[in-house]
Amino acid sequence: EDQVTQSPEALRLQEGESSSLNCSYTVSGLRGLFWYRQDPGKGPEFLFTLYSAGEEKEKERLKATLTKKESFLHITAPKPEDSATYLCAVQGRRDYKLSFGAGTTVTVRA
């Protein structure tokens, strides 16, 4: 069974204070690793897909990286609008469902 563990559960940052979120995973053949952002009361919003170890993707202040066992989401010089829960999910080669972690809730104070 595919498993995803995210840490920390919560992260409080000062505006401009860079940090990283961790996503550790086990999967029987990785099809893709996905990062989503979820605001309170909303559905998950797609951010990135990573397919193979060594791959990196960037969007504004966010950068996602992937190894064979974990992924990191780096937030550089965050702003209050980056406050959200960040979800990591894996999709294995056996099926098409996403297996999610519990998320990391990021709060950025001005």
Partner 1 sequence: GAGVSQTPSNKVTEKGKYVELRCDPISGHTALYWYRQSLGQGPEFLIYFQGTGAADDSGLPNDRFFAVRPEGSVSTLKIQRTERGDSAVYLCASSLTAGETQYFGPGTRLLVL
Chain centroid to CA 58: 12
Please tell me whether residue 95 binds partner 1 under the rule CB under 8 A: yes
CA 61/CA 83 separation, integer angstroms: 12
Q: How far is the CB of 2 from partner 1 (least distance, A)?
A: 10
Total residues at interface with partner 1 (CB under 8 A): 23
CA 94/CA 57 separation, integer angstroms: 25
Please tell me whether residue 58 binds partner 1 under the rule CB under 8 A: no
Partners of residue 64 on adjacent β-strands: 57, 73
Identify which range of 14-22, 60-68, 70-78, 83-91 contacts partner 1 by CB under 8 A.
Answer: 83-91
Please tell me whether residue 72 binds partner 1 under the rule CB under 8 A: no
Q: Which is nearer to partner 1, 17 or 55 (CB)?
A: 55
Torsion angle of alpha carbons 76, 54, 72, 30, nearest 10°? 140
Please tell me whether residue 96 binds partner 1 under the rule CB under 8 A: yes
